Amino acid sequence: MTDVADRAPRSSPSGEPAISAWGLTRAFPSGLALDALDLEVYPGEVLALLGPNGAGKTTTVRLLNGVLAPDAGSSRVLGLDPATEGHELRHRTGVLTENAGLDDRLTARENLETTARIRGFDRRTARQRTDELLERFALTERADIAVQGASTGQRKRLALIRALLHEPEVLFLDEPTSGLDPAATRDVIALIGALASEHGRTIVLCTHFLGEAGRLADRVAVLHRGRLQVAGRPAEIAAQMWTGLPVEVDLGGPAPEAVVEAARSAAGVRTADATPAGIHVEVGGRDHLPDVVSALVGAGAAVFAVTPRPPTLEDIYFEIEARIAAEEGRPVGATS
């Protein structure tokens, strides 16, 4: 699992945002799907949109791409208002939807060339773009077989190509790896990583896979029942949520109570608890680790390893869910 500290920013938030939303709101008969979303995504950034089923991720993508109108609030994508300039906007954005939306009766090549022609490319350029992308996505051998025989992974790659034919500046990817096997997932993640580093392309990635989000995203936004819970760089979010640094200490077995007590009384230690392998401590910062080690050694413990464990994106996500559940007085994971 990628920890949140080792992801170097791809770009610094500067200049005009590629995407901005102010109070963006959309209701369906079942209730509010998106409740006053304020969000900014900067050019060249990958933003991961996270949240449980029904949180409003797909609704956000549809609003920002102008295929759904807001009930309140507004947004700008590449300087355009999706609600009124959606047609123009969609020439500059690409979308991979939850359902790939390919025509099963056509071959991969026919699907792609048709889309390229609709996008306004002449026949020759349409064929050229299609061939280039089929090759890049390792689908050349599948190009002339009807899509109905394609696997889930091949469909996803085809759908990704289709979203890329017109070289969009902003790419919305709604669950690009759902249903893929581990190898196909790894390939698609690598492709998205490569796409993100091209031409300052901005990517909004909706996903349930926190490892994927941790690897690809510069910033994350967590939605829950239409409300934005938190947005920012994972390391910054973690720093706001937890002031201490969790550390695993390997003592070759559970720490006896006297050793736990010794750790607890060391400078900078906030909590200390025995674990099957030794002891888990939370310290104010890395600087306190030597004190922890000398306290443990002083109490007669053999210290085999001391491993700071900064919170992962998974830790952040589940902590947010747990805090919401606690506020609502229900068990974690039960959403209604």
Ligand X SMILES: Nc1ncnc2c1ncn2[C@@H]1O[C@H](COP(=O)(O)OP(=O)(O)OP(=O)(O)O)[C@@H](O)[C@H]1O
Binding site for Mg ion (CB under 5 A): 57-58
Tell me the closest approach of the beta carbon of residue 173 to Mg ion, in angstroms: 11
For ligand X, give the closer residue by CB, 62 or 288.
62
For ligand X, give the closer residue by CB, 28 or 304.
28
For Mg ion, give the closer residue by CB, 14 or 53.
53
Q: Whole-angstrom Cα distance, residue 321 to residue 315?
A: 10
Q: Whole-angstrom Cα distance, residue 280 to residue 120?
A: 60
Tell me the closest approach of the beta carbon of residue 59 to ligand X, in angstroms: 3
Query: Which of ligand X, Mg ion, none is residue 207 near (CB under 5 to 8 Å by kind)?
Result: none
Q: Whole-angstrom Cα distance, residue 307 to residue 40?
A: 35
Task: Tell me whether strands 170-174 and 93-96 are parallel, antiparallel or unpaired.
Answer: parallel
Query: Taking the alpha carbons of 5, 8, 10, 15 in that order, is the dihedral positive or negative?
Result: positive
Cβ(23)–Cβ(38) below 8 Å: yes
Asked if 156 interacts with ligand X (CB under 6 A), we say no
Query: Which of Mg ion, ligand X, none is residue 66 near (CB under 5 to 8 Å by kind)?
Result: none
Q: Is 325 exposed, middle or buried (0-12, 13-18, 19+ CB in 10 A)?
A: middle
For Mg ion, give the closer residue by CB, 58 or 130.
58
Asked if 335 interacts with ligand X (CB under 6 A), we say no
Question: How many other CB atoms are found less than 10 A from the CB of residue 3?
Answer: 18
For ligand X, give the closer residue by CB, 54 or 211.
54
Tell me the closest approach of the beta carbon of residue 82 to ligand X, in angstroms: 15
Helix pair 108-118, 152-164: axis angle to 10 deg? 20
Tell me which of 58, 65, 75, 312 binds ligand X, using CB under 6 A: 58
> Which residue in this structure is represented by tokens 């030597």?
290
Binding residues for ligand X restricted to 36-55, rule: CB under 6 A: 51, 53-55
Q: Which two tokens stand for residue 316?
A: 């952040």
Binding residues for ligand X restricted to 212-241, rule: CB under 6 A: none
Tell me the closest approach of the beta carbon of residue 227 to Mg ion, in angstroms: 16
Asked if 70 interacts with ligand X (CB under 6 A), we say no
Asked if 307 interacts with ligand X (CB under 6 A), we say no
Binding residues for ligand X restricted to 8-37, rule: CB under 6 A: 28, 30, 33
For ligand X, give the closer residue by CB, 51 or 311.
51
Tell me the closest approach of the beta carbon of residue 307 to Mg ion, in angstroms: 36
Contacts with ligand X by CB under 6 A: the residue count is 11
Asked if 59 interacts with ligand X (CB under 6 A), we say yes
Tell me which of 43, 44, 56, 94 binds ligand X, using CB under 6 A: 56
For Mg ion, give the closer residue by CB, 58 or 177.
58
Tell me the closest approach of the beta carbon of residue 101 to ligand X, in angstroms: 15
Tell me the closest approach of the beta carbon of residue 221 to Mg ion, in angstroms: 14
Asked if 142 interacts with ligand X (CB under 6 A), we say no
Tell me the closest approach of the beta carbon of residue 49 to Mg ion, in angstroms: 9
User: Which residues bind to ligand X, rule: CB under 6 A?
Assistant: 28, 30, 33, 51, 53-59
